[in-house]
């Protein structure tokens, strides 16, 4: 399989996203972005045994001095206490402003290690080495870093762009089926919010993606990153269009928070959240029955939930009121005017939302 590269164009903070097999076995790709010998490899207990040891050995052979920071695995560990463990290691090993953090793992590690880099000594460089489909198509690109708080997901964070993203597609061979399906939620999202041609392609090629066809996965990752890059280039700090990337996330984050982070995977909650957003759009008259059916069908075919769990509407709403997209006390939802036509809506009243969440259709 060939390697494909695209650029996230942000003036002096521009960076490449490289997509292809066996990238973690090529430390030479990282050397231009490592200005001194000291680097930190932040990973978790699941990913590091699979890929971290070879990466660390390769860095040492290239003359670098890697420090291993291995954290527990899971969304429930995306916390301030885990963040403190990263700070402790950076301080013990005398890291400075020219040191580099390598985030090796899925979205949790990328967000947490990125936030550590954004805040250690007021900001040091970091590199994204995403190892899950979800992180390769979404969280590794765009510079959002954060940890969770019991009252809200990703509520404590910063914008901090990586120096390079290496999306090694070979890592997907070890990804559990459940994690692969969760990643497809974010892939489907790009078709729903802005790329109807990509959505058409996904409808035809979903079986190939589920079967882990290399060409199909590489194409899906590239097109997802291309869409994400275009949005980030136009609205890096989420003042406008970038909010559309949160289709399904207001509902999804509430599901994650109420159930307890880690009970449902992020992509599973987003899948159900996108169905809820589509159903609410249909209820408001902005999405046709046929387009709603297409949305429900592809999410269900991806093996993702199409129904929210048995949660009281009031508990969902209480969590949604802490969503970081909200402004002036109004809940801002991402809804749809058709396949590929998402929009922001802050006009749905709490009473209407409560009624919708009780009926769920």
- CA-CA-CA-CA torsion sign (244, 184, 277, 318): negative
Question: Greater confidence, 96 or 325?
Answer: 96
Name the active-site residue from 85, 153, 219, 228.
Answer: 228
- Spatial CA neighbour of 309 closest among 351, 249, 254: 254
Active site residue 283: no
Active site residue 325: no
Segment 175-216, tens digit of pLDDT: 999 999 999 999 999 999 999 999 999 999 999 999 999 999
Number of Cβ within a 10 Å radius of residue 177: 10
Mean pLDDT over 292-313 rounds to 96
Note the pTM of the prediction, 2 decimals.
Answer: 0.93
CA 251 to chain centre: 16
137 neighbors 267 (Cβ within 8 angstroms): no
Name the active-site residue from 160, 219, 253, 282.
Answer: 253
* Dist. CA 74–CA 356, nearest whole Å: 31
Active site residue 238: yes
Token pair 């429930």 is found at: 76
* Dist. CA 85–CA 278, nearest whole Å: 40
Active site residue 144: yes
> 103 falls in which pLDDT band (50, 70, 90)?
very high
Segment 48-72, tens digit of pLDDT: 999 999 999 999 999 999 999 999 9
Segment 107-125, tens digit of pLDDT: 999 999 999 999 999 999 9
Domains of the chain, start order: 4-174 (3.40.50.1970), 177-359 (1.20.1090.10)
> 35 falls in which pLDDT band (50, 70, 90)?
confident
* Dist. CA 211–CA 182, nearest whole Å: 14
Q: What residues have CB less than 8 Å from 352, skipping those under 6 apart?
A: none
What does pLDDT average to over the chain? Answer: 94
Element (H, E) at 42: strand 38-44
Mean pLDDT over 304-311 rounds to 94
Active site residue 233: no
Name the active-site residue from 242, 279, 324, 332.
Answer: 242
* Dist. CA 224–CA 277, nearest whole Å: 20
Q: What residues have CB less than 8 Å from 252, skipping those under 6 apart?
A: 266, 269, 270, 271, 272, 273, 274
Name the active-site residue from 38, 163, 266, 279.
Answer: 266
21 neighbors 167 (Cβ within 8 angstroms): no
152-159 and 144-149 beta bridge pairing: antiparallel
Mean pLDDT over 325-347 rounds to 89
Active site residue 230: no
Name the active-site residue from 75, 179, 186, 268.
Answer: 186
91 neighbors 124 (Cβ within 8 angstroms): no
Q: What residues have CB less than 8 Å from 173, skipping those under 6 apart?
A: 212
Name the active-site residue from 44, 154, 227, 246.
Answer: 246
Name the active-site residue from 179, 238, 256, 268.
Answer: 238
Active site residue 322: no
Strand partners, 69: 42
Active site residue 228: yes
- Spatial CA neighbour of 308 closest among 349, 243, 246, 248: 248
């Amino acid at each position: 399989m060939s390697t494909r590269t695209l650029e996230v164009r942000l003036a002096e903070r521009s960076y490449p996203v490289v997509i292809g097999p066996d990238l973690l076995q090529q430390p030479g790709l990282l050397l231009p972005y490592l200005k001194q010998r000291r680097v930190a490899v932040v990973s978790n207990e699941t990913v590091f045994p699979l890929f971290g040891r070879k990466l660390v050995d390769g860095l040492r052979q290239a003359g670098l001095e890697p420090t291993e920071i291995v954290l527990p695995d899971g969304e429930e560990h995306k916390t301030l206490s885990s963040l403190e463990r990263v700070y402790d290691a950076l301080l013990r090993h005398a890291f400075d402003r020219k040191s580099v953090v390598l985030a090796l793992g899925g979205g949790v590690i990328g967000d947490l290690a990125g936030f550590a880099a954004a805040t250690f000594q007021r900001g040091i460089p970091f590199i994204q080495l995403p190892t899950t489909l979800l992180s390769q198509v979404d969280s590794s690109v765009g510079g959002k870093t954060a940890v969770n708080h019991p009252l809200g997901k990703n509520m404590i964070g910063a914008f901090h762009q990586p120096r390079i993203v290496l999306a090694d597609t070979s890592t997907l061979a070890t990804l559990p089926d459940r994690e692969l399906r969760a990643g497809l939620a974010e892939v489907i999202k790009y078709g729903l919010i802005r790329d109807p041609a990509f959505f058409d392609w996904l409808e035809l090629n979903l079986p190939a993606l589920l079967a882990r066809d290399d060409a199909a996965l590489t194409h899906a990752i590239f097109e997802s990153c291309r869409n994400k890059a275009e949005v980030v280039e136009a609205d890096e700090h989420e003042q406008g269009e970038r909010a559309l990337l949160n289709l399904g996330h207001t509902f999804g984050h509430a599901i994650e928070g109420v159930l307890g982070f880690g009970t449902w995977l992020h992509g599973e909650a987003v899948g159900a959240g996108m169905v809820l957003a589509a159903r609410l759009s249909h209820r408001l008259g902005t999405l046709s029955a046929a387009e709603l059916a297409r949305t429900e069908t592809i999410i269900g075919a991806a093996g993702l939930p199409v129904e929210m769990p048995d949660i009281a509407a009031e508990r969902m709403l209480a969590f949604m009121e802490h969503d970081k997209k909200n402004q002036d006390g109004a809940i801002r939802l991402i809804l749809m005017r058709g396949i590929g036509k998402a929009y922001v809506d802050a006009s749905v009243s709490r009473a209407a939302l409560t009624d919708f969440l009780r009926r769920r259709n």
